[in-house]
Structure 1
Amino acid sequence: MAISEIGSDRPGTQAPAAGARERTVSRPGMLRRDSLVTGAKAVAGIVGLFVVWELLVIIFDPPEFLLVGPTAAFQELFERPEYFATNTFVTLQEALAGFALGTALGVLCGATLHYSPTIRSFLYPALVAIDTIPKVALAPLFIVWFGFGFESKALVAMAIAFFPLVINTYDGLSSVPHELQELARINRASQWKKMTKIEMIYALPSIFSGAKISISLAVGGAVVGEFIAGSEGLGYVILLANSQVDLPSMFAAFIVLAAIALALFFLVDFAGRKLIPWKNHAK
């Protein structure tokens, strides 16, 4: 009698396999349930923050030119929805364009640093030096080069979103296990197949981690550009409200900016979960 047949006659042999199948089948449901719980906690945390903010304003009753509560900010949003929607759309366009450019250039530059040690020895220190320069200082230079329009704000957003993707792409490609490298060599895989089938796929989680950082930074970069030379957008709304000591409008713009950054962050996180499902199942 075969060994497999002997094993199958033993009592309780099939039960673990069935249990394993049950766990495998129920795993997607568990992930969805965990996501819902996480989302509910996030919403509860945001609501709690607004409640604490409102209570502090009620208790200490500061002058309106120093601090207003979230109810005043939301009232401003509801009274002028078109004004905030129009300026939000401008900032969102600039942030998304800057993020797209920063992602493409960041991944390309990170891959270049990994695959070319000669270029890395020259370029990496220069990139670190440039990244240490405050982007507010670079914004006027972009405006001189590209004018006061959409392009200069998008490029400021790109400059801020660029560096995290460079570092995360380089680190992701550099962390491919030696065993996988040897497997590709044994199977005589070409450099292109090695890069596309092993290294870039292995680096995807790291790249998406950098993208989640960069998308929030891109929103801030668009606002920085609008601070320097903007006639529209949420950065311009904040500057205008500051000049008029209009705190409800200012805090309303802050809330919209936070909502945009949070929504884009979760959108990138959702895309990462769909494109790299093996990372979730490995947990």
Structure 2
Amino acid sequence: MSQSAVSTAPVKPAGVAERARPSLRRRTVEAAEKSWRPVALLLACFVAWWVISAAELVESYLVPSPGATLDVLLDKPDYLWQHSWVTTYETLLGFVIAVVVGVVAAVVMVYSSTVEKTLYPILLFAQVVPKIAIAPLFVVWLGFGITPKILIAVLIAFFPIVISMVTGLKAVDPEMLQLSATMGASPWQTFLKIRFPASLPHLFSGLKVAVTLAVTGAVVGEFVGANEGLGYVILQANGNLDTPMLFAGLLVMSLIGVILFVIVEIAEQLLLPWHASRRDGSVTTSY
């Protein structure tokens, strides 16, 4: 047999069988199977809310009906959108600053034990101090503008980012680091090619926690002193005993947190398709 007649098909490794990627229909079914439980729980909570309000088990000025809350959302969309955008802007800006500062701080702490021993107790102390307690100080120091809200969002989102990034950087296999040094890679090359990619799964776990906490931080800052934002809306509605508006503000705030969480989750899926947690539809399986 001539050499040109030899098949050029790739040889399959022993013990590995290929399977086709799941179809769109299959992925849709799997997504439905994963999401029906939380959807069912939310529906059950909504039904319980409706039953409690319809049966007048609680006074309407304490717990408004779903219909009254929906009427507020439909009657005042511009008002809620204006304040929602302010809170979202504060949240995103605080979250981005927390990510940049948190990642840099984590890298410095990992590469310098002196900095870690010095900085870690301070970070822990800053985390355990209730942000609602120090928020008035920021208002006194920085005024009633947007800066105190962003600063509180940074402080409340900073800690999970630092901790997750430090954990990820330290979780790298030591043999990989030894191999990198043996191959003559510089510390910067080792960081870019090995340490940083390996830390991304841990980092994204912290980012998903931090982005929801950033919403809370922005709203807490608005509670203390603001004339716009969802925190201001909720505070005004509470003072006026306008519970439908209060519930509408809470629902919108929760929706912002969920949307930001989903965005980070999608970014993780796009950037880390190789991670083990993303291999539900893997193309190979061992037997």
Normalising by structure 1, report the TM-score. 0.88
Q: 1:136 matched to which residue of 2?
A: 132
- Alignment counterpart, residue 253 of structure 1, candidates 249, 256, 261: 249
Shift in Å at residue 36 of structure 1?
4.3
- Alignment counterpart, residue 110 of structure 2, candidates 109, 114, 121: 114
Write the mapping of 1:1-283 to structure 2, written as runs, cut at 5 A: 20-23=17-20, 25-26=21-22, 33-279=29-275, 280-282=277-279
Give the counterpart letter for 1:154 in structure 2: I
Give the structure, 1 or 2, with the largest relative contact order (CA under 8 Å, sep 6 or more).
2
Q: 1:50 to 1:243 in 2, by over 3 A?
A: same
Shift in Å at residue 68 of structure 1?
1.4
Give the counterpart letter for 2:247 in structure 1: F
2:157 & 2:228 partners in 1: Cα distance?
21
Give the counterpart letter for 2:103 in structure 1: V
Number of residues of Structure 1 aligned to a counterpart in Structure 2: 268
Higher mean displacement: 137-146 or 230-239 = 137-146
1:239 & 1:209 partners in 2: Cα distance?
32
Q: CA RMSD of the aligned region, Å?
A: 2.2
Provide Cα deviations, 1:53-104, integer angstroms capped at 9, x if missing partner: 1112223432122211222211111111111111101110001111111111
Give the counterpart letter for 2:255 in structure 1: A
SS of the counterpart of 1:20?
A: strand
Provide the identity percentage.
37
1:138 & 1:29 partners in 2: Cα distance?
51
Provide Cα deviations, 1:90-128, integer angstroms capped at 9, x if missing partner: 110001111111111111111111111011111111111
Q: Which runs of 4+ in 1 moved over 6 A?
A: none
Give the counterpart letter for 2:230 in structure 1: L
Which segments of 5 or more consecutive residues in structure 2 lack a partner in the other structure?
1-10, 281-287
SS of the counterpart of 2:228?
A: coil
Q: 1:273 to 1:200 in 2, by over 3 A?
A: same
Provide Cα deviations, 1:119-138, integer angstroms capped at 9, x if missing partner: 11111111111111101122
Shift in Å at residue 33 of structure 1?
4.4
Higher mean displacement: 99-108 or 57-66 = 57-66
The structure with the largest helix share of the pair is 1
Shift in Å at residue 29 of structure 1?
7.3
